[in-house]
Amino acid sequence: MIGRLRGSNSVERFAVIGEHFYQPPRKGSHTRVKKIHTDPHGMDWNNIIIHECYIPQTQNGTLDHVSFDFYTTIRREMLALAPKEVKQLRESMKARGVGDPFLHVLLPDLNKRDKEILVKAGYLAFEEETKVSPKWFWAPETALDNETLETLVKIGYKGVLCAPEQIDIIGTSADNKPIILKLPNKANIIALPFDRPFSSSLAFSEKSNADAYTRSTIIPRIQKLPQSQPLIGWTDGETFGHHVKLADLFLDFLVKESLPNVGIAVLGLNDIQDVWEKKDYQTGKLRERTAWSCPHGNLVRWHGACPCDGGHHGSWKENFSTAISSFNQEIDKILDRELGRRWADDLAQNFSQYFYFTGSRNSKKSLMAVKASALAAMTSCGTFFESPETSGNINMLFIHQALENLKDAGFEQLSQEMKQKMLLTLSKGIDPFTKQNLAQLFSKILS
């Protein structure tokens, strides 16, 4: 028996262990793009990861102990493979689930209207599947700006998770502390930075002995905190079973046996406000356009060369992200002209319907599907890595799908013009590994 951690009056200490479950949608829904493959090395990665990580953790009941966000698009893919487990997943989401937007797009890169569409679409999907409303929000890459925070408050969120490096407070680190952020529109929201050392160890430490991990890592960290402040760790869900084989069993034993055995209760994030005391709350300021995987400001990792990029091969990213962002903005102009300015609420309310639209010559549905695809084309995966080939095909697939829907809406010539404009911008970026320009690199998937 490891020595138990007990405070005064035998009150248990608390820890929150969180997982971020996300893989991008790698296949289109339009009938003319369904056969396009975006997976590196010809592997069905979503299928593989679902079976290595998501199904085992659901079946084991791990998700009834951790806290987690689980993207709508990957839930839908999982539904086709494991409907029984998705039903179980939804039950776990009621108590332990955290909200997220419908698509994994860097929200600060979007205008206010697009932010509201994706945040509201994700919020409504969560409500529809669980019959409860999410309280906390996990932003893609934890990338935030004040306009995003104002959007979260408007939609109904009480708080947002982030990295401690994203918050400025006076005199101490932000790890594990509830930080009240006063927003420009006079609203408030709670920012909750996770514990950086604990989260990093969850991601990268050795995972063969949960009891030893508890002794060496968790107990020393939690002893440094006031009793009313839970220790908060968060990492990618793929860590447990995909990145590290059998680590799903490590995590399951950690939350069910190792931590309870030493008096550490694994608290659900949705219950954390019941534990905090008034003195735990502090005020702070958000460092806008930072992320948990890039503290350098202006989200530079996704837009150019960055110290986060080990080889500093990111100069191509500026052209890539500019091409996609400009495309999305042009689509807005088309929809405003053709549908008026009220289309955004319809899209948010019925995002799944338009995102998975298989295509037909229906002017309104096709135009709404154009916009859903244009937003999907902005997924952050394409510019996260050093090489544009790693995930860039996903972005280009959804550009292609948007163009096909635009044709169906009756704008075939405009579709061709926008494609040529896209290729022209891409041609100015150079793949640092193949030395091809990006237009050449992606010409096949855009054809």
**Structural domain boundaries of the chain?**
8-286, 300-446
Q: How many CA atoms lie within 13 A of 400 on its CB side?
A: 25
Assigned token pair, 144: 């935030």
* pLDDT given at position 10: 45
* pLDDT given at position 244: 93
The phi, psi pair for 377, rounded to 5°, reads -65, -15
* pLDDT given at position 328: 98
* pLDDT given at position 168: 96
CATH T-level fold of 8-286? 7-stranded beta/alpha barrel (3.20.110)
The phi, psi pair for 47, rounded to 5°, reads -60, -45
* pLDDT given at position 5: 55
* pLDDT given at position 12: 84
Assigned token pair, 342: 């009220």
Over the chain (447 residues), what is each successive 10-residue block's mean pLDDT?
42 91 96 90 91 97 98 97 97 98 98 98 98 98 98 98 96 94 97 97 95 97 96 97 95 98 97 96 96 91 88 89 98 96 95 96 93 98 93 96 97 97 96 94 91
Q: 221, 3 in Cβ contact below 8 A?
A: no
* pLDDT given at position 43: 87
Comparing CA positions, the residue from 186, 128, 126 lying closest to residue 154 is 186
